[in-house]
Structure 1
C-alpha cells in the first residue's frame, strides 16, 4: 500500500495510473470512491485509504454512485501475483465461498481457516467473509440494473441465503434498498422496464451486462486469435462478437461478448464489453462473468505493460503499433490446454480437425437456455479412457481431401496444408496420446487447470507429463493459468519472430534469452506482440 501522502496526491490529481490500486473513503460523507472520481477533493483529515473496495465496505462506507467503484476492474496486482493472498482473492471473486464455504477455500489453498483469515486481513484489511459479502452486493447490483428478474431470484442468484440478509447488506453497501435502486433504474433512459418474468428463477431473454476495462483494448487481435481456434458449435467468432458455450459449476450456459463498444474514439470512462448471458441456473452468474473477463483479459493494465515493454528498443515499435494487446484466456481451461497441446504436434488446421472430432464424438450435447445447440468440450474423464482410433482415421481422410475442419466461422485464409496427407502419421498419433495423458492427469486430480490454482505447482505437473514440450507448458501457463510472465526461450514461434524482425546493420543476432529479462513481469504480453507482428512458422499459430 502506498503511503498516505503519495495516495493523497494521486487522488487530488485524479491520476489514472492509480485507478484500482487503492480506494478513497471520506469520513464526512460515508462514501468511498476511486482515486479518479470527479467529486470535490476532500480534506486530508477526512480521508482514509483502502487497498480494496471490500475493505472500505467492511469499514462502514458505501460505494460512490458517481464513479461506481464496484464495477471497475480489479487491481492488476492480484492477477500478476500467484501467492496465497492473490489466489484467495481470485477464488472468492468467482464465488467459491458461496459454493464450498470458507473452510473449502482454505482446504483448496492447503492452509487453515485461521491462517487464511490472518493473511487476508494483514494484506488487504478484511477477511474472506467480508470479501464474499462484497462480491454478492456487486452481483446483486448487476442483476438489478441489467434484468427484470424478481428481487427474490436476484438475492439467491447473488448468493444470499435470505431476503432480510439481502436487503440489509445491500442498503449498507449502496445506501438504498434493492427496490429503490430498481425504481431509479427504470426512470433513467435505457433502464430496465416491463414486468418481471414468470416463475421462480425464470430468465426472460438474456442477462445483459457491461464489463468495464482499462483502455485501450486491441479487440481485433483478440478476436483473430479466437477465430483461428474456434470449434464448431462450441465457439463462434464474428467481426466484433464472440459467442460460446459455457460449462458452469451448477449447469451450462451461453455467452455472447460484444466488442463493438471497444473503440479508441470513445471516452475512456464509457468503453465496455457488452455481455449477454443465457444461464440454466442463475446462481452461475458470478462464474460466467468471471470467465468472460478472463477470456478477454479485461483485468489487464495496458499502461503498466506498455511502460515496461514500450521502453525496450526491440518491442517498443510493436507495442506502439498495437496498443492494448491482451493475452487471450480461457472459459474452459482443459479445452484450451488440449488445443494448445495438439498444436505442439500438428499444423493448426489438423489440430482444429482433431479437437473438432473430439467435440463431435465425446462432447456433451446440451441445449442452451436460448434454445440453440451448445455442445460442450469433452470432460477430462470422458477423454481419459477414450478410444481415439476414429480421430486418427478421420483426420487423415480430411487431410487427404484437403478439407478444413475449422468450421463455418474459421479464418480459412490462415489454414495451411496438412503436413501428413493420407495417413495418420506420428504427429496425429502423438497428439492423441498427449490428449489422453493430459486428460488422465486432470481427471485423476494430479493436475488442475483452473485459473486460481497454484501456478508453480501446475507448471511442475505439466512438465512431468511425457511428451509435453517446455514451451507448450508455458503457453498453457500463459493462456490457461493466466500467468502474465510465462516464457520459454526455446519456443519456435518466438525465435522465428525475433529473427524476422528488422535488424540494424552490425547488430548481434537476436537471442530470446538476451532480451527476455527486460520484459519481466510481462513476458506473456511480449510473446503476444512478437507472434502477432510476424507470421508464424509452418505448423505454428501466433499467441
Structure 2
C-alpha cells in the first residue's frame, strides 16, 4: 500500500471493497490482476478474490502499474483525495505540488511542466521529482497524465462534446497526442468510451460528481439560502433532488465566458448532478473544479471527524461551503464585516441589482451576473454609498476589485495561502477576520480560523474572557489542520453544549 494511505492496511481496503463502503471512495483504488482493471471501493461488480487485488492510494499509481479504469464504476467520478499535514515539510510540499496539478485554474494560460511546477514552489526540478515520487509513487507528469485522461474519460462518457474539444479541454496540444495517449494507457480509442444518452450540445451539459458520506446536504443548502442574492442564484430545498442554480463568469486565456450552472444532490448515489450551460463548454474542467470546491466534494469525513468529533459530535456531516468565484466571496466578506448575515445579504442584493451585468438564461430566477472586478474597481464612492456601503468598506471593495482586475491577487484553490493572506491584509479595510474567512471559503484552506469572530466566541463560550480571540486561538490548536471545519461546526451549534449559534458575522 502506498505510504500516503498508510492508515489503511490492505486487509482494511479489502473489507471496504467487500462492503462497498462509500466513506472510502477515492481514498484508494483496487487493481484486479485477473482482469487488468482498477476500480473504486463502491464498484458494483462481483468482489474479486483477495489474492487478485492490489491496492493503490491514487489512480495514477494504478495506471502506472498497468491497470485500466473500470467502465462501470468510473474512477473519474470518485472524489479526490485531499490530505493535509502541518508537520512533515516534504509531505506538505508534495501535496502542494499535487494540488497545483489538480487545479486547472492554476494553469489557465500555460501548460504545466515540472520546471514550472518547481518554480511555483520555489524549489529545484530534481527536488520536486524526488519528493513527489516518494510520496505518490509516480512522477508529477505521470500524475498529471492520469488526471487528464480521467477528465477526458468523464467528458467522453457524459457529454456529446466533439472529441477535438475534449482533447484540448483535457490539456492535450493536439488530437493526435490525445488519441495516442488513450490507446497507450487504456487500449481503447476515445470514441469507444462514448455512452448512449449524453445530453446534446445546446441543451446544457450534464456531469455527475461523487462525494464521500456522511454529507449534511440540508446544512450546506441552508448556509447558501441565508446568503442568496436574487437574480444571480437560487436555492431549492423542496424537491427530491435539492440543489442550487446560479450564473457564472470565468475568464480564461484572455476570454470571458458567462453562463449558468445547476447543481442537485442525488443522495442515494452520493453524487452531485451538475448541469452546465453550453456557453461554458470551453472552460468545463474549471467549472467542474469550482463546483467541487463550492460544495466541498473532496473532503475526507473520516480524517476530519477523527480530529473533531469529540469536540463537535453533532457535526460529522458538515462541509465547508466554498465559492464559484473567490473574488465574489471576498467582496461579500467585506460587505459582511461587523453586521448580520441578513444585513450583508441586503447590501449584496443592492450591488447586484445596481451594478450586475444582465444575462439571458432559460431560468427566470437567473438574470444577472455578479458585478465584475473591472466594474467595482471603477465604482465611485458616491455609487457605492448610495447602496448603503460605508466609506471604509467602499475602499476595501475597490481595493480587492482592483487587485483582482490587475491580476495581482488570485483567489482560488491553488493560490499560495500565506502569500495571499498577507496580500489581502495589506489592502485597506481588510483585517484578519476577513482574510481568514476568504481563505476558508475562496482559497479552500482547511485550517483557516477567524479568531476574532464574535459568533465563534459565543459558540466556544469565551465571549466573556479578557481576550476572547486569544482564547479561541488557543482552543483551536487541538483542531489543526481542520480548523475551518471546526468553525463551521461551531457556527452550526454542533458543540456538546447547547450554546451554538447560526450566525457568522
Please indicate the TM-score interval, normalised by the length of the shorter structure: 0.7 to 0.9
- Taking structure 1 as reference, are residues 477 and 5 closer, same or farther at Cα in structure 2, changes over 3 Å only? closer
Measure, in 2, the Cα distance between the counterparts of 1:6 and 1:451: 27
Measure, in 2, the Cα distance between the counterparts of 1:373 and 1:223: 17
Measure, in 2, the Cα distance between the counterparts of 1:5 and 1:443: 44
Aligned residues of 2:447 and 2:480 also touching (Cα < 8 A)? yes
> Which residue is 2:441 aligned to?
479
> Which residue is 2:148 aligned to?
136
- Following superposition, the deviation at residue 471 of structure 1 comes to 2.2
Aligned residues of 2:103 and 2:413 also touching (Cα < 8 A)? no
User: Greater CA radius of gyration, 1 or 2?
Assistant: 1
Q: Which moved further from structure 2: 207-216 or 23-32?
A: 23-32
- Following superposition, the deviation at residue 292 of structure 1 comes to 0.5
- Taking structure 1 as reference, are residues 281 and 19 closer, same or farther at Cα in structure 2, changes over 3 Å only? closer
Aligned residues of 2:294 and 2:322 also touching (Cα < 8 A)? yes
- Following superposition, the deviation at residue 216 of structure 1 comes to 1.7
Per-residue CA deviation, residues 224-264 of structure 1 (Å, 9 max, x unaligned), is 211222223222222222111222225223110012x22xx
Per-residue CA deviation, residues 437-470 of structure 1 (Å, 9 max, x unaligned), is 2233434444321211111222222233343232
- Taking structure 1 as reference, are residues 328 and 138 closer, same or farther at Cα in structure 2, changes over 3 Å only? same
Per-residue CA deviation, residues 314-357 of structure 1 (Å, 9 max, x unaligned), is x22x32xxx41111001100100111121114333442333334
- Following superposition, the deviation at residue 535 of structure 1 comes to 9.2
Matched, 1:41 2:34: no
- Aligned match of 1:351 in 310, 321, 344? 344
- Following superposition, the deviation at residue 299 of structure 1 comes to 0.6
- Counting only pairs closer than 5 Å after superposition, residues 409-424 of structure 1 correspond to structure 2 as none
Measure, in 1, the Cα distance between the counterparts of 2:278 and 2:122: 32
- Counting only pairs closer than 5 Å after superposition, residues 475-514 of structure 1 correspond to structure 2 as 475-499=437-461, 512-513=472-473
Matched, 1:121 2:119: no
Aligned Cα root-mean-square deviation (Å): 3.4
- Taking structure 1 as reference, are residues 101 and 48 closer, same or farther at Cα in structure 2, changes over 3 Å only? same
Measure, in 1, the Cα distance between the counterparts of 2:36 and 2:54: 11
Matched, 1:306 2:305: yes
- Taking structure 1 as reference, are residues 78 and 284 closer, same or farther at Cα in structure 2, changes over 3 Å only? farther
- Aligned match of 1:518 in 475, 478, 481? 478
> Which residue is 2:94 aligned to?
85
> Which residue is 2:218 aligned to?
220
Per-residue CA deviation, residues 371-400 of structure 1 (Å, 9 max, x unaligned), is 9965332333432332031221243xxxxx
> Which residue is 1:235 aligned to?
233
Per-residue CA deviation, residues 156-190 of structure 1 (Å, 9 max, x unaligned), is 343333334333333444443333332xx33xxxx
Per-residue CA deviation, residues 249-292 of structure 1 (Å, 9 max, x unaligned), is 25223110012x22xxx3xxx22111101142523111000001
- Taking structure 1 as reference, are residues 453 and 206 closer, same or farther at Cα in structure 2, changes over 3 Å only? same
SS at match of 1:76: coil
> Which residue is 1:421 aligned to?
none
Matched, 1:272 2:287: no
Number of aligned residues: 473
- Taking structure 1 as reference, are residues 469 and 152 closer, same or farther at Cα in structure 2, changes over 3 Å only? closer
- Taking structure 1 as reference, are residues 165 and 232 closer, same or farther at Cα in structure 2, changes over 3 Å only? same
Q: Which moved further from structure 2: 449-458 or 135-144?
A: 135-144
SS at match of 1:229: coil
Matched, 1:378 2:371: yes
Using the size of structure 2 for normalisation, the TM-score is 0.82
- Runs of at least 5 residues in structure 2 that lack an aligned partner in the other structure: 464-469
- Runs of at least 5 residues in structure 1 that lack an aligned partner in the other structure: 198-202, 396-423, 502-509
